[in-house]
Structure 1
Amino acid sequence: MPAPDVKEAPLPHWIVPFAASLSEPCVQALSRLDAADALPHWSELWGLLEETGRLHADEYALSMPHERVLADLLGWAETGDALADGALPWAAWWAHHDGVTLTPDQYWGQLTPCHWLMGRDHMTLLDPDSMGITAADSRAAFEAVRDLFESDGWTLLWGAPTRWYASHASLAGLPTASLDRVIGRNPDVWMTDHPQARVLRRLQSEVQMVLYQHAVNDRREAAGLPTINSFWLSGCGLPGRTATLPAGVTVVDHLRASLLADDMPAWLAAWQEVDASVLAPACARLKAGQPVKLTLCGERSAVTLTAAAPRGALGRWWQRWRGVTAARPASWLAEL
């Protein structure tokens, strides 16, 4: 009798966005991770891993490093179109997961309702996930601005409280900055000078006027919540690309909210959670002779680390030496 086919378990691959940033608060906080008890599994794991891949751009790229890693895993670069910076079709990806059907031969973008905070010298885009936008508030704002878009030839669909979907001919080939690039920063700086972006600037101004003193924002102000006064467009592209990550891939989002908010005590605590929930089981797998894969992503780079198989006594000595010299995370993470 032939032996039954046994499927191997997928290789675990943890992807950790926001492992570091170039912001001054983060630069100052990084050294705290060097404390002996800060990340107890770091040095143990680092002696068993080696760098096997690196994606690098700069902090001004429209697409985040972790987005480029995920796009590669989804096989988007193999579908025939060159995926230029700022041209990753995340709108279609999220629409699929929101259960929204998009017309396949049209370009779609993701509209994120948000708050542009007016400061003395510039604006700042608040993290929409921190605004407490309910489905009711989102739908009310959506219906309030819908005619602005549709009267201009757009198609607008509601997907989730912080995800609306828009289609228009002007989105074809339009590069846009990732929302994660813009949160906590001046959105004007991240609006590209592409000719088709002029349409967006006009719509953003008109949306601000429509939502100013709208009933939904009166209620939000009375509740002490930020108003919904604008939107951000991102993730433009055609539907139809792969929407499911390979088996074994886990995106670890523990660090995102605190880093975008420059809340360093919360970010350091989140790193300890990553150490316990990701690095600890990774150590256990490697000790058991099972491989793992880890990708750490910052503002500029994404670095992939995999198990390094020691070769004899010299190889084991080299692993131990690497563990000692790479045990301090601050300098290593600062390169991301």
Structure 2
Amino acid sequence: MPDLKTAPAAGAPATRALIVPYAGAGPEAAQSALNTLALPQLDRLLQRLQPEAPDEGDEYHYIPPHERALARALGLPDGQGGAGDPPWAAQRAQQRGLDTEQAWAWLSPSHWLIGADQIQMGAPSELGLDAAEAQRLIDVLAPFFAEDGIQLHLDTPDRWLASGEVFRGLHSAALDRVLRRDIQAWLPEGPGARSLRRLQSETQMLLYTHPLSEARSAARQPVVNSFWVSGSGTLPAGWQASLQTPEVLEDLRQPALDGNWAAWAQAWQAMDSGPVHELLKAAEAGQAVSLTLCGERSARHWRSSPRSLSQRLRGWISRPLSKPWLEAL
């Protein structure tokens, strides 16, 4: 998923929009952490905003709610209703001036821990690759990928761009869905899926005794033994990047993925007194604002709109609190 900041569209009223991934608490430990939270700024903000239609889902959807919300805001396919997955890699290719007539995907080099009955994948960022080492890996793998019509491009050390017809129409799970989980439930689906699974096996064999892997093992670093595909597809015809995009707050992501719910609660409280409070002040000043809170399953959306006196009075009386909303995500 791209890193985006809010920018107003020229000639259009600016809406300050926030998307908060991992705002909800699913596991029991997370629910306990949620019970300790006091989020007064969020409570006040929700009191001023009007709820919109929710995005209902489950934790097994390939595209998590925060990516679906961002894709819709940008006018991209959101992975719902057969419209295709958000083509994040193609969007990045457009930013870099690459050929967006092709199909694109992210390839994330990774370490797969193979057990007796499952395969778990560590976070690519934990490999600690730098640009030079990542480019050496690409140089090793590129000839084998080229046999399947795939071209590799270094973007960041732990996330590469790949182009090829194999990614057209591919249904691939977001990286967040598979981290530290059994990959079997999240393998790509579609016309090119079998070729990619074969390439993953060949990559494992190729790198098993390669000097790059031996050097990493000698340095007690996790070896790269496979890759994950995500963000695949093509941009809609004529699509152009919007000048006004939501800001995605990533503060809760890492604590949630790590299962560190004490740190998650602390991060929520810091966000409540920081960006959430800033959004509240914008709403109080009459600026158009929107808020999307996302969990593992669902997302809830709120937007500012003119309210009558009776609506404002009902809002004060009902005093909606954030906790039930967060529990439902």
Partner of 1:3 in structure 2?
Answer: none
Instruction: Provide Cα deviations, 1:263-306, integer angstroms capped at 9, x if missing partner.
Output: 22222222122212221112222222333211111122221112
Equivalent of 2:90 in 88, 92, 97: 92
- Partner Cα separation in structure 1 for residue 231 and residue 311 of structure 2: 45
- Partner Cα separation in structure 2 for residue 8 and residue 85 of structure 1: 28
CA, structure 1 residues 120+77, in 2 after alignment: closer, same or farther (shift >3 Å)?
closer
Counterpart secondary structure, 1:305 = strand
- RMSD between aligned residues: 2.7
CA, structure 1 residues 230+73, in 2 after alignment: closer, same or farther (shift >3 Å)?
same
Instruction: Provide Cα deviations, 1:41-62, integer angstroms capped at 9, x if missing partner.
Output: 1222222122123222222111
Partner of 1:57 in structure 2?
Answer: 57
Partner of 2:72 in structure 1?
Answer: 72
Superposition deviation, residue 253 in structure 1: 1.3
1:202-213 alignment runs, 5 A limit = 202-213=198-209
More divergent stretch after superposition (164-173 vs 54-63): 164-173
Instruction: Provide Cα deviations, 1:137-182, integer angstroms capped at 9, x if missing partner.
Output: 2112212211211123322222221222223333222211111211
1:79-158 alignment runs, 5 A limit = 84=82, 87-97=85-95, 99=96, 101-102=98-99, 104-119=100-115, 121-158=117-154
Partner of 1:292 in structure 2?
Answer: 289
Answer yes or no: is 1:307 the counterpart of 2:293.
Answer: no
Instruction: Provide Cα deviations, 1:115-157, integer angstroms capped at 9, x if missing partner.
Output: 2123454222222233322112211221221121112332222
Partner of 2:183 in structure 1?
Answer: 187
Answer yes or no: is 1:46 the counterpart of 2:42.
Answer: no
Structure 1 gaps, min length 5: 1-5
- Partner Cα separation in structure 1 for residue 189 and residue 248 of structure 2: 32
Percent identity over paired residues: 36
Question: Aligned partner of 1:166: which letter?
Answer: A
- Partner Cα separation in structure 1 for residue 123 and residue 242 of structure 2: 25
TM-score (norm 2): 0.86
More divergent stretch after superposition (241-250 vs 229-238): 241-250
Instruction: Provide Cα deviations, 1:40-87, integer angstroms capped at 9, x if missing partner.
Output: 312222221221232222221111222222222222359xx9973662
Instruction: Provide Cα deviations, 1:215-234, integer angstroms capped at 9, x if missing partner.
Output: 33334334443222110111
Structure 2 gaps, min length 5: 1-9
More divergent stretch after superposition (219-228 vs 185-194): 219-228
More divergent stretch after superposition (183-192 vs 244-253): 244-253
- Partner Cα separation in structure 2 for residue 21 and residue 157 of structure 1: 37
- Partner Cα separation in structure 1 for residue 97 and residue 159 of structure 2: 11
| Paired residues of 1:47 and 1:321 also in contact (CA < 8 A) | no
TM-score (norm 1): 0.84
Answer yes or no: is 1:278 the counterpart of 2:264.
Answer: no
More divergent stretch after superposition (201-210 vs 56-65): 56-65
| Paired residues of 1:141 and 1:211 also in contact (CA < 8 A) | no
Count of aligned residue pairs for this structure pair: 319
Partner of 2:4 in structure 1?
Answer: none
Superposition deviation, residue 206 in structure 1: 0.8
Superposition deviation, residue 332 in structure 1: 1.5
CA, structure 1 residues 101+193, in 2 after alignment: closer, same or farther (shift >3 Å)?
closer
Counterpart secondary structure, 1:303 = strand
